[in-house]
Structure 1
Amino acid sequence: MKRVLGTMAFLALASLAGGLPVSAQPTGKQGPRVVESRVVSVRGDQVLLHDGTTLKIPRNVAHPLEIEEGDTVRFTYEVRNGQNVATSIQFRDRPIDGMRRRY
């Protein structure tokens, strides 16, 4: 009987030590993330990248007309309210001045 009670007490304490399941744990603030990919589509302030990532582009990061389909870009972004929000952008296939050359 003592063994049974001891085992039950051990199991009860062990289950408490495990904490919450991963899905129930509160998410802490995550640091910035980086993605580099080709732009597949631009719709308003939303950009879809070749790797499937969708980002919201605030106007303080880039004007929607600056980003074109086919651009290779590197975004730094944060997840806010479940949405990927860009904090910076680098155009990887453009000249240093960032302007497209149209001939």
Structure 2
Amino acid sequence: MLYFFYENIANQVFLSCLLITNGIVWLAARPYTHIGASGLIYGLVFFMIFLGLFKGTYKTIAISVFILIFYGSIFYGVVPSNGRVSWESHLAGACVGVVTAFWMSRKV
């Protein structure tokens, strides 16, 4: 959906969610094995949700509502519930997604 609706900024958003999230996890997470792309997924989903809130156009709000309906339970993965799951990656991705949405809402 990112590349379909926000083609002009999609590469910047994708790379910032990927690199900054993994950098935060590498620097600040507990010494544990962190495998997978969940931080990237959280970053992209939170970007899509919060861009609608920050931008406030009909298009961005509709996309945010659609994602909240289908992926609204993603908010539960940000808080630690299982000690064996890398919740730090989830939290870092969510924070990066929100900050990126705020930053991009002023550019788009």
TM-score norm. by structure 1 comes to 0.23
Larger helix share, 1 or 2: 2
User: Which one scores higher on RCO, CA 8 angstroms, separation ≥ 6?
Assistant: 2
TM-score norm. by structure 2 comes to 0.23
Larger strand share, 1 or 2: 1
